[in-house]
């Protein structure tokens, strides 16, 4: 196998496919941004899976060298769409809008999505995502990176449900590929390994199906809210010794109060579609909460998890546990509950990494998702209804600046950015 011109900073090259000792094919590629063009296209079908990985590894490495960004962490990404086209993009330092290229943003993945939507519309979905990112001086000696939380959320909407994700460690494109198919999270991927996974794994259990008991509890509580018969508890605040029932009652009160405050008088649609509340506990036992609302006039609010994390930031104490509840009449009727957006979890993860050296490092954060209820459920029953996770269970890509990755971007990269 030979990948001519790859890894030398060019935007075109030729890949030699060796079929046998007597027979070989040449596959030419070039970048006509935002598209990646192959000629002849039929030679793509002659690639083995290993050849395909080697090809995209070389193209990504070459493309990374062909552009300049005002930072040391460079990311390039290729998307294969479900109609057979290839798109390519890279990251920039700061977000900005360009009148010429309105889809040029900070992250390579965001650039890809915007380019695809701008060119083909939102009905076309990503089938496979290939990416390479890391420090400019890295050459296969660092772990690979994954999309940030915001891009993970966006990619899940822009991709097929079974979309594949392949992330290569930053290199010059000539480093042998060591494929890891078994890693659960980025922490399980060693330096120099290529991780192949799929989009649902990066967005694990985003929509939870409630048990029959959970659906019944939520629907009864919704009926009480809509009829005005639900009487809120007298819980006014969050004390350090608050039990899970106290936290549950507090969140129900906050959600219902916020929903009622934004419900218009008379008939008609509510001007808020969903209300969410998150409570975090820090290592010193203190509790902090945050809320967010989604509606026609309130789509730019920070997520509840982000607000709660920021409120706990002043004391610089590690977050050890988090509870989340949402009030969404549509989802309650469907019997589902959403976990946290990955952008929100990334904020909490960054918050964990900001712990000072004097503070003990928390290896994981416990997250509990509670179905909406009346706020009067006993602890044993509440524990049966809750869905419990470790942070790494539902945020497998984690944060690129976590321990073991320092020096290759994110917090350890010097500028605190993810890409």
Q: Is the pTM of this model over 0.85?
A: no
Q: In what order do the strands lie in the sheet with 73-81?
A: 2-4, 12-18, 24-32, 35-39, 86-90, 73-81, 126-135, 159-169, 193-198, 178-180
Residue whose tokens read 């044993």: 380
Residues 367, 280 within the same domain: yes
Exposure b/e, 65-82, CB count within 10 A at least 16 = b: beeebebebbbbbbbbbe
What's 11's domain CATH number? 3.40.140.10
Domain's final residue, options 183, 202, 221: 202
Residues 232, 357 within the same domain: yes
What's the distance, CA 20 to chain centroid?
A: 42
pLDDT score of 271: 63
CA 206, 146, 167, 152 torsion: positive or negative? positive
Residues 155, 241 within the same domain: no
Q: Is residue 58 part of a domain?
A: yes
pLDDT score of 354: 55
Q: In this structure, what token pair is assigned to residue 342?
A: 């990955």
Domain's final residue, options 180, 202, 224: 202
Q: Is residue 411 part of a domain?
A: no
Residues 241, 380 within the same domain: yes
HEC readout, the chain: CEEECCCCCCCEEEEEEECCCCCEEEEEEEEECCEEEEECHHHHHHCCHHHHHHHHHHHHHHHHHCCCCCCCEEEEEEEEECCCCEEEEECCCCCCCCCCCCCCCCCHHHHHHHHHHHHHCCCCCEEEEEEEEEECCCCCCCCCCCCCHHHHHHHHHHEEEEEEEEEEECCCCCCCCEEECCCCCHHHCCCCEEEEEEHHHHCCCCEEECCHHHHHHHHHHHHHHHHCCCCCCCCCCCCCCCCHHHHHHHHHHHHHHHHHHCCCCCCCCCCCCEEEEEEEEECCCCEEEEEEEECCCCCCCCCHHHHHHHHCHHHCCCEEEEEEEEECHHHHHHCEEECCCHHHHHHHHHHHHCCCCCCCCCCCCEEEECCCCCCCCCHHHHHHHCEEEEHHHHCCCCCCCCCCCCCCCHHHHCCCCCC
pLDDT score of 289: 93
pLDDT score of 264: 56
**What is the rounded radius of gyration, in angstroms, for the C-alpha atoms of the chain?**
24
Number of other residues whose CB lies within 10 A of the CB of residue 236: 8
Rounded to a whole number of angstroms, the distance between the first and last alpha carbons of the chain is: 32
Contact 163, 112 (CB under 8 A): no
- Kindly list the distances between the CA atom of residue 314 and the CA atoms of 30, 65, 311, in Å, as whole numbers in the listed order: 50, 40, 7
pLDDT score of 322: 94
- Kindly list the distances between the CA atom of residue 214 and the CA atoms of 125, 146, 221, 232, 418, in Å, as whole numbers in the listed order: 33, 34, 11, 20, 37
pLDDT score of 93: 58
Residues 165, 67 within the same domain: yes
Of 90, 95, 87, 89, which Cα lies nearest the Cα of 119? Answer: 87
Q: Is residue 323 part of a domain?
A: yes
Q: Is residue 338 part of a domain?
A: yes
Residues 139, 214 within the same domain: no
Give the chain's domain count: 2
Residues 196, 244 within the same domain: no
Domain's final residue, options 164, 184, 202: 202
pLDDT score of 115: 93
Residues 180, 231 within the same domain: no
| Separation CA 144–CA 75 (nearest Å) | 10
Q: In this structure, what token pair is assigned to residue 284?
A: 């010193």
Residues 35, 178 within the same domain: yes
Contact 349, 195 (CB under 8 A): no
Residues 218, 349 within the same domain: yes
Contact 198, 164 (CB under 8 A): yes
pLDDT score of 94: 46
Number of other residues whose CB lies within 10 A of the CB of residue 210: 22
Residues 198, 216 within the same domain: no
pLDDT score of 234: 64
Q: Is residue 415 part of a domain?
A: no
Cβ contacts of residue 179 below 8 Å, gap of 6+?
Answer: 53, 193, 194, 196
Number of other residues whose CB lies within 10 A of the CB of residue 101: 14
| Tens of pLDDT, residues 188-210 | 888 889 999 998 888 876 788 99
Q: Is residue 407 part of a domain?
A: no
Full residue range of the structural domain in which residue 264 is found: 207-394
Q: Is residue 403 part of a domain?
A: no
For the chain, residues with pLDDT lower than 50 are 1-8, 94-104, 265-269, 356-358, 401-419
Give percent above pLDDT 90 in the chain: 40
Contact 34, 89 (CB under 8 A): yes
pLDDT score of 316: 64
Q: Is residue 388 part of a domain?
A: yes
pLDDT score of 315: 58
Residues 19, 139 within the same domain: yes
């Amino acid at each position: 196998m030979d990948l001519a011109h790859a890894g030398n900073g060019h935007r075109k090259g030729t890949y030699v496919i060796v079929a046998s000792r007597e027979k070989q094919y040449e596959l030419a590629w070039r970048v006509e941004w935002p598209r990646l063009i192959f000629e002849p296209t039929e030679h793509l079908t002659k690639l083995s899976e290993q050849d395909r990985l080697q090809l995209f590894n070389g193209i990504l490495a070459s493309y990374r060298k062909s552009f300049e960004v005002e930072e040391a962490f460079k990311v390039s990404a290729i998307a294969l769409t479900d109609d057979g086209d290839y798109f390519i993009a890279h990251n920039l330092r700061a977000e900005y809008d360009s009148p010429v290229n309105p889809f040029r943003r900070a992250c390579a993945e965001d650039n890809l999505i915007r380019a695809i939507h701008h060119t083909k519309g939102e009905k076309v979905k990503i089938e496979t995502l290939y990416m390479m990112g890391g420090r400019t001086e890295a050459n296969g000696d660092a772990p690979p990176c994954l999309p940030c939380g915001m891009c993970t959320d966006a990619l899940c909407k822009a991709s097929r449900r079974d979309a594949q994700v392949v992330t290569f460690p930053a290199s010059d494109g000539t480093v042998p590929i060591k494929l890891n198919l078994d890693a659960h999270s980025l922490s399980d991927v060693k330096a120099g390994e290529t991780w192949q996974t799929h989009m649902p794994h990066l967005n694990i259990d985003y929509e939870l199906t409630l048990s029959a008991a959970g659906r019944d509890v939520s629907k009864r509580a919704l009926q009480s809210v809509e009829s005005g018969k639900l009487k809120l508890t007298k819980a006014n605040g969050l004390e350090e010794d608050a039990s899970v029932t106290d936290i549950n009652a507090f969140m129900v009160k906050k959600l219902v109060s916020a929903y009622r405050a934004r419900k218009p008088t008379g008939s008609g649609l509510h001007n808020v579609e969903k209300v969410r509340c998150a409570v975090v506990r820090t290592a010193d036992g203190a509790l902090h909460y945050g809320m967010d609302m989604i509606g026609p006039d309130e789509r730019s609010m920070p997520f509840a998890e982000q607000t709660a994390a920021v409120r706990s930031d002043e004391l610089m104490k590690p977050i050890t546990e988090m509870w989340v509840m949402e009030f969404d009449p549509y989802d309650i009727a469907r019997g589902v509950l959403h976990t946290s957006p990955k952008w929100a979890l990334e904020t909490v993860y960054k918050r964990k990494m900001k712990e000072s050296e004097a503070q003990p490092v928390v290896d994981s954060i416990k997250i509990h998702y509670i179905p909406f209820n009346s706020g009067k459920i006993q602890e044993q029953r509440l524990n049966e209804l809750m869905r419990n996770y470790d942070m790494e269970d539902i945020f497998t890509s984690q944060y690129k600046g976590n321990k073991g990755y320092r020096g290759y971007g994110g917090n350890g990269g010097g500028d605190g950015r993810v890409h």
